[in-house]
Structures are given as C-alpha cells and as structure tokens.
Structure 1
C-alpha cells in the first residue's frame, strides 16, 4: 500500500484536498444548523417578559423528512439521473444542456449562495468586532457599544471597571492604540453599522406579504451572490463552480433534517443501494458526472489528473452528522433539567358530583436556552489557549462548548469511510460509489456511540418534529428521582395575557366615546378598506446611533 500511494501521489494530494473540503463543509454546515433543542425553553427577554422577537423567529421548526422519503428520494434521484443520461444521448452535444443548467443553477443558487456569503461575512465581522477578549492577568474585557468603552469585572458582584485607555471597539493588542476622537467615533459607528438590524418589507397584494429582519452583511451577501452567478454563467471557472457547490452543500445541511435517527438511517440506507446500482451496474452516474458542467460536484484539478466528489456525498451524510450535533445539544440541556414539586388541583366527576382534589406532583423544569451561534470571534479573542475547548468568558461561549460525542463520532466515521473509498479507488482503478463506504461509516459510528454510552433509548426517541417541545410537563418519578412517564403537559395552556405592550394602538368598541388619539373600530376598518399596499418594497434602517 505505501508503494501504491507513492506511485499515485498526485491523486493522493487531490483526495486529501477533497476530504478536507468535505469535512469542512459538514462541520460548518452542522454548526449553522444548530437550533434551540426541545430540552430547553426560550428565554423571555422582551418587553414585559415576552419572548425576544429575533430569538422567536430563529426558533421556528423546520420541516423534516418522513419515513416514506427513504423510498421516494432514491426513486426521484434515479429518475432525474436516468433522464439526464438519455437527454445527453439524444442531444449528442452536452454544451446545449450545460447552458440550460447554468441558467437554472445560477437562478436557484441565489438564496444558498447569498446565505453562504452572508454567514462568511458575519464570521469575519465577529473576528474584527468581538464582544469580549482576554487581556493580561486573565482580565475579561467587555466591549460596550452603548457606552463606547471597554470594562472588566471588579472584585465585588456587579462591579465594572472602565478602562479609559481603550477608546475603540478593537480587541487584544489593537485596543491599546491611541486613536483620535474622530477615528474612534468612526470605528464605533462601523461596529454599530454591521450589528444593527434593518427591516425589509415586500408586499404584492394577494400574493406576498413578508417582513424580514436583516443586517448589512445579509444584503451585501446577496449582492456578492448575484455577481458570482454572473461570472459563473459567463466563464468556465471551476473555482466558481466549486463555490456554488459549497453553497449548495452548506444550505442543504442547514435546511434538511432527517427528523429522527430511524428516518435518517433509512434514508441513507436507501441512497446507499441507489449509489451502488448507479455506479457499478449502470453507466448513468459516471456519464452524467463527467459530461455535465454544473455545480453538482466538486472538482479538484492537479498537474496530471483531476478528481471529483458529488455534492450528494457531502449533503447526505452531512444532514445525518448535523442531526448528531443537534442531538448532542439536546442531551446537554436534558441533563440540566430539574424536578420541581407543585400542588395541583384535579376535578373528579366519576361519582356524579364535582369533587376537587389537591395533590403534590412533579414538574419537569427546562433550563433557559443560550444561543451558541456567532461566537467564533469571541472564542478566538476571549479564550486562553489552555482552555480552548472549555471557554467560559460569557454564558454564550460556555454554551457553545457543550459535549459533542455523537458529532465527533460521525466525523471520524466519515473520515475513515473516505480513506476506504480512496484505497478502493487506487486498488481497482474504477469510480467508487462513495456512499457505499460513507453510509455504514457514519450510521454505524452514531449508533455504536449510543450503545457504548447507554443512550440508545434517548437516541431512538429523539425527534425534531416538535412533539418534544413541551413546557411545564407533569411527570411521574420513581423512588430514585428518575422520570418514568409524562402525566400531563402544558399546564399553563390557555392562560393568555391580556396586557398590551406600550405603544400599541388603542382601539375602542363602537359607541364608546374615544379619547384623544384613539381610533374607533369603524374608523380603522374604513381606513383598511379604502387603502392597502398593492406593491411595496422597502428597507427600513434603525434610528441613527447616538
């Protein structure tokens, strides 16, 4: 084997680049797909204890896969692949189909490419303008945009010591630079510019009525995506084709969810057989992959040869590894849940009379969720090298370092499977169906980890369909305090707050005498009937930073 590897050193270098790129896509995409687990509750941080609007928006459930997809996805994939193969045979010249596919992918990739570029810009902005950093003597400096200064904690609880020598929002050694007042003000305004949220409204009467909160990086990411698509369509750049492939892989891992480990294992098993049949027993896969010039693959070119990897070989195992990471996140908060004794009233009408009984029950209290995303810059600047895997400068940094045994097991399984693919490719000198090795490697690694840790029951019952997202669950416990079963959930269901937030428009009923500035229900309805937006596209910026 060493001799064989030395004889094919150029191919080995290409495969190392491909494996590293695939692992990077899966790693970054899986972290981008982290959401609040059902074992934690969303903190109430808005007005009057209401949920924060931005956090509630990011907390929406994503439609996941169903068990039937294990059958339907391979069938659809095979239908498309066979159709493309015979279309190529009928056209005889693949350039015609490539031009059509270029237009298609240029259009369809705008959303994924915009998301990819925007998150990359957020990543870079976080390194330039973090919120915390570690100084000398392990002092944790906090960068305060409102006060335009930097402080560290004093000896007493709640004490803040402001450092007058640091008048800019820059971290580390850059914080000691003596900027002029004008330059320092400009840096603070740039920081605020990248962090403030704008509101984009798009209305087409009867069709679309959307309001989206975005930042400058999101808008600039879309602009970059449009420019990249124009260059991709007008050039034959393999680099741009790979960029689109990275974006499709990144967005696919974020958007797609297998919902459960059973469904994920079934879907991957179906594609396992699909890949074997299409590569070994038909000419469809190899022909389409080599003749179509579209971002459905990653292509790496060397001095004497080139190598490629289909996007499915990244996305398919990637969504399963992403599920492993979210399961790690779920278990992290599940271990923090506590039991609380409460006295509940129950009504019994079995005897024909209404009898109210009181009893002591246990409620499963979930910990509050801390969003770990967007902490790359704080992790870099706010963590000493000795604690790089255990950051604790802020609650968000501490929450981002939750244990990830299933995620790392999936990555190791993927790496070993890719090495096995390379060995078989060199041995038989024939295109290999990567899923033949990736599916057993990733799936076996995850289930074996659960078996070793004694968490097969938790892994089997885990789901992302929203059924586990319950609050104030009444449970039955055994003598050791372990939860046996759920008796009742959402005991506070139906309790609605009638309070209105300050600034809400006050409306009185018809016949009431309205006070100054108050609108009657008839007047509001009349204004809505007389005027409505037919087409509206606007970008609203927040008030100027003071």
Structure 2
C-alpha cells in the first residue's frame, strides 16, 4: 500500500522540480549570438556619433545667432570644469545610497516622471525644425508669445519670455505621445528617442569657451570614470538600477527575439555628451578660422570612433564593464593637440575663445574704474590745496 503512495509523491516532486527548472531557464536572458552582438554594438556606435555630428552643427548655428543678437551665451568656466567631477561624484554616490536604502521601484517612479517632462521638451526642441519643414501649408503657423515678468521699472525681471507657434504645439503633442509610450511600455526605442534628444541638446547647448576649459573637464572626468567603474561597483549598480533615458540601449538578441529582445548592450549619455561638447568646440574653432577644411572636427570625430571601438573590444576581451572615458578622453584630447602641433597652430588653438569680448569688456571696465579713481584723487588733492 505504501509503495504506490511513495511513487506518487516522488513523481509529484519530480514534476515540480522540472517545472521550476523550465521556468528558470525561460526567465534567463537568452545568450547573444555573434551576429546579435555585432548589430547591437554597431548600432550603439552609430547612435553615439549622430548626436555629436548634429549637435555640433547646431551649436555652430546657435553661436552665430547669439553673436548677431548680441546675447551672451552661458559657457562653462574653468572653475566649473574643475568642480564638475566632484559634483558628479556626489550625485552618483547619492543615487547609489538611495537605491541601497529605499525601494528601487519608488525611486524609479519619481525619476520616470521627472525625465518624462524633460524628455518631452528635449524631443520637441529636436523635432521642431523637421516638423516645420514637413508641415503642409494648409496648417497655419500662428505665432504666440508667453511673457511673464516680476517687478516694475528698473527692477522688472523676465521670469518667462517664450515665443512659439502652432507648429511647436504639434511638435509637443508628438513628443508627448512618445513620452506616454515610454511611460507605459518602457520600450527601448522610446528610451533611445529620449536619450538621443538629450544628447543632441546637450552637445548643442552646453558650451565650452576655450580649449583649456575643455582639457580640464575631460581630465577630471577621466579619473572620475576610472575610479567609479574600476574602484567600486557604484556606477555599474546605478546604471543597472536606474530606469531612465540616461543611456542608449540596443538588444543583443535582436536576430532571435526581434524588437522584444531583453539582453541589452548599453552606452551612457555622459560618454556621448562630454566628448561631444569638446568636439563641438573644435568645429566652432574650424569655422572661426574661415577655411574650407574642418580638419580638427573630422580628425577628433574619427578618434572618438576609434576610442569607442577600443572600449567595446577591451570589454569583450576582459568580460568586465569598462569606463569609456578611459579610452575616449586620450583620443579626443590628444588628437587635436597633435594636429595643431603638426600644422603649427598650437598657439592659435589655445588662444581661441568663443566669446573673447567678455575679457575685453572686463579690461575696459578696469580701465574706466582706474581712470575715474585717478580723477577723483586729483579732485580731492585740489580741494585739499
């Protein structure tokens, strides 16, 4: 009587184990094929270079517009560049501690809402020229001006001074639709659309005023990246836990699973934007020299590509996450210096500034203040006599 019971229990246990094993295997990431790896990393390299190219071109146009309008552009100073790695380290470690102490789901919910708003605005700004060029004439372009001020007379300050049109509203609606898709599905294509928008806008709007500031920033972040990747597990942990469009991703299992792949290769936006704003500065330097060739821009862009390929190669050889700036910084910083040395333009490269009038204004103010103080002293001496 006991034998059938024992056999029945044994069969039930065996079935349960087999079911659990099959579920575990199903939930595991499917290993990537060589073709899938090539497609994934090739796509990431292309997606990394496109924002740098388009963002650099847009930064030149923005620089020219601000020069014509006389508006002062916000640029990163040497002091800002020195403190940037420290501030970035504090922010990174703060996020790491938050993920360790609090629920990951609650933090990501908060960050998702924040990046949704930023992403919609960034994507709308990126799509605006495209939508304007494709918009049919049947859709009228009605201008609007939102102006909100504080105070009166001399104390009057602009809080909101924004001009837009009906075409911009359509861009915002399209971007909001993509944002809702990202909120509900967290699909990697929506993530990349927001990520690319952030990268292009970052390269376009974040301006380094001169080469020295750029070298200080890149050098500081070179050591920052090495420390947080090789010295600790902080950056890798945050990158894997942080569900926000601050990285570009591409499925390595695309050939087998299609667009619903889950085994992602990733590249952080910092590895695009930081070298990108330096390369954009070199393009503005090329334009300032008024020559047809863009040798500094193109040579450094090629160096960036080679640095990115070196990062991917070393990562696969050692099977460990690599700090991309370890390879990108020497490539992007060394190449223009070498080109300038060969061409005999090292002095002019370091002398170039996007906004040299700021120094001239400071000198004029100092001269005026010195002359006025001298005149005051003469008046005082005359009165004393």
Give the TM-score normalised by structure 1.
0.54
Residue of structure 2 equivalent to 1:285: 235
Aligned pairs, number: 317
Q: Check 1:197–1:328 CA distance in 2 against 1; reply closer, same or farther (3 A cut).
A: farther
Q: What is the RMSD computed on CA atoms of the aligned residues?
A: 2.7
Report if the CA contact (8 A) 2:210-2:352 is conserved: yes
CA distance in 1, matches of 2:63, 2:148: 33
Residue of structure 1 equivalent to 2:54: 28
CA distance in 2, matches of 1:55, 1:64: 14
Q: Check 1:218–1:446 CA distance in 2 against 1; reply closer, same or farther (3 A cut).
A: farther
The match for 2:215 among 265, 268, 290 is 265
CA distance in 2, matches of 1:74, 1:23: 23
Residue of structure 2 equivalent to 1:99: 109
CA distance in 2, matches of 1:87, 1:294: 15
Residue of structure 2 equivalent to 1:89: 100
SS of the residue aligned with 2:323?
coil
Residue of structure 1 equivalent to 2:14: none
Report if the CA contact (8 A) 1:37-1:330 is conserved: no
CA distance in 2, matches of 1:37, 1:13: 36
1:352-394 Cα deviation digits (max 9, x unpaired): xxxxxxxxxxxxxxxxxxxxxxxxxxxxxxxxxxxxxxxxxxx
CA distance in 2, matches of 1:97, 1:266: 33
What is the CA-CA distance between 1:65 and the residue it aligns to? 0.9
Residue of structure 1 equivalent to 2:289: 331
1:201 pairs with 2:227:
no
What is the CA-CA distance between 1:216 and the residue it aligns to? 4.2
CA distance in 2, matches of 1:403, 1:61: 28
Residue of structure 1 equivalent to 2:82: 71
CA distance in 2, matches of 1:197, 1:260: 40
CA distance in 2, matches of 1:273, 1:114: 35
For structure 2, list consecutive stretches of 5 or more residues without a partner in the other structure: 1-31, 152-156, 257-262, 361-385
Which structure shows the bigger proportion of residues in strand conformation? 1
Which structure shows the bigger proportion of residues in helix conformation? 2
CA distance in 2, matches of 1:469, 1:218: 37
1:11 pairs with 2:22:
no
CA distance in 1, matches of 2:149, 2:120: 21
Report if the CA contact (8 A) 1:268-1:317 is conserved: yes
SS of the residue aligned with 1:22?
helix
For structure 1, list consecutive stretches of 5 or more residues without a partner in the other structure: 1-5, 43-53, 129-186, 336-401, 471-546
Give the TM-score normalised by structure 2.
0.75
CA distance in 1, matches of 2:239, 2:219: 22
CA distance in 2, matches of 1:100, 1:468: 40
